[in-house]
Structure 1
Amino acid sequence: MQQLQGASRFNRRAVKVGDAMRLVLEAALPGLCESVPLWQAAGRRLSEPLTATSDWPPFARSGLDGYAVRSADTTQATPDSPSSLRVVGTVAAGGVTPAIVEPGTAVRIMTGGAVPEGADAVVMLEQTADADEIGRSVVRVKRAAATGQNIARPGEEFRRGGVLAEPGTLIRPGHIALLGTFGYAEVPVFARPRVAVLATGAELLPVASPLEPGRIRDSNSAMVASMVEQSGGTPVLVGRLPDDPNAVVGALAAALEQADMVVTTGGVSVGDFDVMADIIRGIRSDGLTGGPDRLLFNKVAMRPGSPTSAAVMNGKLLFALSGNPGACFVGFELFVRPAILMLQGVTMEQSLPREVTAKLAADFDKGSPHERFVRTRLYVREGVLYADPLAFNKSSMMASIPEADGLLRIPAGPEGAARGSLVHVIQL
């Protein structure tokens, strides 16, 4: 392991968080596309703009159960002196009637039914009363109707050719209903990015193994895999690797063949056995397999996770995250999640983490030479959003990760931030 030692390991130039994000997103290109059945499209990202295939509604539709009338026939109607109209037909949802609403007549109509010719309003059933006059059906309207009342006009919601959703849109159940309405039985979506996840470190044990002296279980791989899935990707668990450069290089080459992106945890710091740091540093010169490789950054001006690194290898993004769970979590949120979204057609602006402004609920007096990302709880009191920094916030600690609603951004400086000050928080 002599090749892993040397002064060059310490001469890593830190880039600012915003610059690191930009480098990642500029390298993340939308991925492959596929078509899926409508009922399977929820949770996927649209790959093409979809448009209305007809005006909607396609015909004048009743918004409720009642009677289709001429509004002019009801202008004098009151509960004490209703207007009497002869009923000349009935329209159910999905049906039409040949009856024409002429002066003094009405048509019984159900919700969604096609409004018959001659009618310009629908009176709700509760504002009418049925009656019989000399063997004919009559409806008594108790209130004057306005023109267009309770009628959905053709094209009121959508015009043919109008855009329903743009590429990158996260398809929700409401989109499913909309697309089904316009006949999209198959939906074009971005393929879920395949993200290989591997952990390095001789100290790592399988999750199911009992603890051994000096060793810990590999919790990062499962955490990262779940975050990949949450971001719309498909995790490919490669497993744990020893601190052996040849083994790691071989595993990376195999992962790059089968995945669209690779995320590693561990081995990025300045220790003698931090194998990923050595591999990342070597990308600048000869790359891994001779493909279109380039280093994006191998240090970020942030706490925790300053050794976080990123590169392009064989045209695909490689992220080397810290082995410390807190730093690994932060690195994923800042860099990996946005890249996965970009591969699914989300715009650069929308891929960036969402930030809110909150009032700091407690002093955070720990300064840092780099910007600090502090796991925090968010709550609202009297209409004001508060950020309450959580305990156990060190890079190596994981107790606060499940409770975190956001990452509090503390600018670089010796003083931290005072209670009551306005702060920026990345929402999780």
Structure 2
Amino acid sequence: MRFDREVVKVEEAQKRIQPYIRAGQTETVTLQQSFGRYLAEDIYANVDLPHFHRSGMDGFAIRSADTKGASRENPVWFKVIETIPCGVVPQQEVKPGTASRIMTGAAVPDGADAVVMLEMTQTAEKDGTVFMSLQREISPGQNIAPAGSEVKQGTLLLRGGRKINAGEVAVLATFGCHTVKVYRQPRVAIFATGSELLSIESPLEPGKIRNSNSHMLASLVREAGGLPLIRETLPDDVDRARTAILNAFDDADLVISTGGVSVGDYDILVDIFEHWDGKMLFNKLAMRPGSPTTVGVRNDTFLFALSGNPGACFVGFELFIRPVLQGMQGKTTHDLAVFTATMAEDFPKPSPFTRFVRGIREVKDGKVFVKPAGIEKSSITLTIKDADCLIIVPPGGRGVSAGQMVKAIPVKGRE
């Protein structure tokens, strides 16, 4: 298995994963707690919005028919019968020759079919009564938002599986959804393998490096809505690693390992996959970086074995794990978003496999440009912080040139 591997294209690998994606269990949380979670039910409008005829201006509510023939030479006068602030129910019906002073957002009184903005009127007082004059005709419905003009009762507002961001919270609050049914956050066990790894608290030692991948993956899991569980760093010991990883299946909804998936003598994940009771979906990809990425399923739980190189680990998460975590939280489409852009500079690095280059996008004169975030090596960490997309470089050829059109995948959760 270490050397005899079937090379699978990324699209085929994603197809092999999709049949095993299952939406998880649900729970009910408060609206305050729902931000960043994924809806587990469809939300419908329980009332019209607005649920009353609402003024769009500060001004006067009138009968538009009363303005017929109004002009500078022939102004029309109205008796002001009441003032209607927001939140107050009008007490008087607007009848011919009368008007109600009204504030933006207030309920339009019966009888009125238009609101004239304050700046278009003049007022005068006579014997303690206020009168308003208007010097032009007003159309019916002007400056009024009728009941149900934004949303009719029964309209589908939000579909299950949608991530709850600020706009969704505003909608839920508008319709009184003080509790929300959401998908439980998938529990994701994260293992880093390699006897060369030190904890982030440890001083450096000759020949060793700190374990950055576990913490990067934990952050990516949080971005995708999951609950990361950073587990012990595993040395290059097959039996110990197998026990720890298989035990993680008991309390995690998804398991990730990083490192140990290539063909070296100490790549222990290869041995684990060769002698386990799960199903391996693939163990070699036609991609750079991360071609040894291996994925299997055991008891309906995924094991994603990613490369130990930080760049490859990052790419593997974005291409395969993020869509799975979203699917576990109700998202029904698993295809990656792709956009087209112009290459801003040359990338003369050919590859026999499709290459996913950590990139930066920018807009100039209405056109989207992308360029590599820095040196493109799978072992480099620093470009991960700058990448907001993955530039797709087709296999063969001599890379891509400045001015050439390319496809790219936006990286989620990036500012």
Task: Please give the range of the TM-score, normalised by the shorter of the 2 chains.
Answer: over 0.9
1:19-418 pair list within 5 angstroms: 19-79=12-72, 81-283=74-276, 287=277, 293-348=278-333, 351-418=334-401
Residue 190 of structure 2: SS of its match in structure 1? strand
Deviation at 1:53, TM superposition (A): 0.7
**C-alpha contact (below 8 Å) 1:281/1:298 kept by paired residues:** no
| Cα offsets for 1:219-242 (capped at 9, x unmatched) | 100011111111111111112011
Deviation at 1:175, TM superposition (A): 1.8
Deviation at 1:215, TM superposition (A): 1.0
Residue 362 of structure 2: SS of its match in structure 1? strand
**C-alpha contact (below 8 Å) 1:375/1:407 kept by paired residues:** yes
| Cα offsets for 1:395-423 (capped at 9, x unmatched) | 11223222222211111114222222111
Deviation at 1:165, TM superposition (A): 0.3
Residue 9 of structure 1: SS of its match in structure 2? coil
More displaced stretch, 61-70 vs 246-255:
246-255
| Cα offsets for 1:309-343 (capped at 9, x unmatched) | 11111211110000011111111111011111111
Deviation at 1:89, TM superposition (A): 1.9
Q: Which runs of 5+ in 1 are unaligned?
A: 1-7, 288-292
Distance 1:279 1:182, change over 3 A: same
**C-alpha contact (below 8 Å) 1:45/1:170 kept by paired residues:** yes
| Cα offsets for 1:162-206 (capped at 9, x unmatched) | 111001111122222221221211011111111111101111000
| Cα offsets for 1:233-289 (capped at 9, x unmatched) | 111111201111221122112321221111110000011111111112334xxx1xx
Residue 232 of structure 2: SS of its match in structure 1? strand
**C-alpha contact (below 8 Å) 1:25/1:338 kept by paired residues:** no
Query: CA–CA distance in 1 between the matches of 2:321 and 2:122?
Result: 65
Distance 1:414 1:137, change over 3 A: closer
| Cα offsets for 1:74-122 (capped at 9, x unmatched) | 1333456431101122222222233111111111122222211111101
Determine the structure 2 residue equivalent to 1:3.
none
**C-alpha contact (below 8 Å) 1:392/1:399 kept by paired residues:** no
Residue 323 of structure 2: SS of its match in structure 1? helix
Residue 240 of structure 1: SS of its match in structure 2? coil
| Cα offsets for 1:347-380 (capped at 9, x unmatched) | 22xx433211111222222221111111222222
Question: Which amino acid in the other structure matches residue 118 of structure 2?
Answer: L
Runs (4 or more) in structure 1 with deviation over 6 Å come to none
Deviation at 1:143, TM superposition (A): 3.3
Query: CA–CA distance in 2 between the matches of 1:175 and 1:81?
Result: 50
Residue 340 of structure 1: SS of its match in structure 2? helix
Query: CA–CA distance in 2 between the matches of 1:414 and 1:174?
Result: 45
Q: Which runs of 5+ in 2 are unaligned?
A: none
Q: Percent same amino acid among aligned pairs?
A: 47
Query: CA–CA distance in 1 between the matches of 2:89 and 2:18?
Result: 54
Query: CA–CA distance in 1 between the matches of 2:234 and 2:313?
Result: 17
Residue 142 of structure 2: SS of its match in structure 1? coil
Query: CA–CA distance in 2 between the matches of 1:153 and 1:179?
Result: 21
Question: Which amino acid in the other structure matches residue 310 of structure 1?
Answer: V
More displaced stretch, 189-198 vs 89-98:
89-98
**C-alpha contact (below 8 Å) 1:280/1:298 kept by paired residues:** no
Query: CA–CA distance in 2 between the matches of 1:34 and 1:372?
Result: 40
> Which TM-score applies when normalising by structure 1?
0.92
Deviation at 1:28, TM superposition (A): 1.3
Deviation at 1:16, TM superposition (A): 0.4
Query: CA–CA distance in 2 between the matches of 1:172 and 1:221?
Result: 27
Distance 1:80 1:191, change over 3 A: farther
Question: Which amino acid in the other structure matches residue 324 of structure 1?
Answer: N
Question: Which amino acid in the other structure matches residue 155 of structure 2?
Answer: G
